[in-house]
Structure 1
Amino acid sequence: MSHESFKAAFSNAINHVASNISLYVINLDKDLTSNRKIGAGNLISFMVSCVYSSTKLELLDVFGLVPNAPFASAFNQQRAKLKSDALEAVFHQFNSLVLSMEETASLPFPCC
């Protein structure tokens, strides 16, 4: 299985959770529903991809030095709105996608 397949599965898992974000926020009607600099998909992706640097440096790695890049405080405010169940759901979705891809790849090819 290629790294593109894993990347696509991860992206699909994040999109699946982000499209159902009302299940994973504190306030159902208003949290992470509007289009902000750090939307639900970007927030989850950012949280998973952080390595070991400070939030400020990680944000610089992702957004660069663009004038409208979000501050660390904006990230912290958005993160506070998200339940930990969201990350768990991403990993469950990702695992099920990868397992189904492995099962499909292990099927024998039909003979001509």
Structure 2
Amino acid sequence: MSLNQIIEKINDNHRAKRFFAMYLLKDQETFHYYYQMRAQLSISFIFDTIINALFNEREKKQVKQELINLLQINADMADQSVEGYPLKEFDKDLNSFLVYWRKNTGRQFLHKSFE
């Protein structure tokens, strides 16, 4: 399945939405490329969730601040406030990714680990 097919299914497929949210964390270029097209692709809600989740309780999880720095985002980039379950779901997916990352690289997912 191509990325375009995943984007087309985002509104009808919960897993596609969750996958794409994690994909957007790949790097600054990817995040900002799709951020500029969020209205056109009807994916603003995904960015609102990501941004709100990363800024929510970021002091409890260092990786959130690392991702904020890596992606060069700020809280004002969210069009709407997101609360409750979507934030918990994003955190759960982020935790799963971090476990995968540590298991496959043997390193913490921190910006300095890329130097």
TM-score, normalised relative to structure 2: 0.34
Q: Which structure has the bigger radius of gyration? A: 1
Whose helix fraction is larger, Structure 1's or Structure 2's?
A: 2
TM-score, normalised relative to structure 1: 0.35
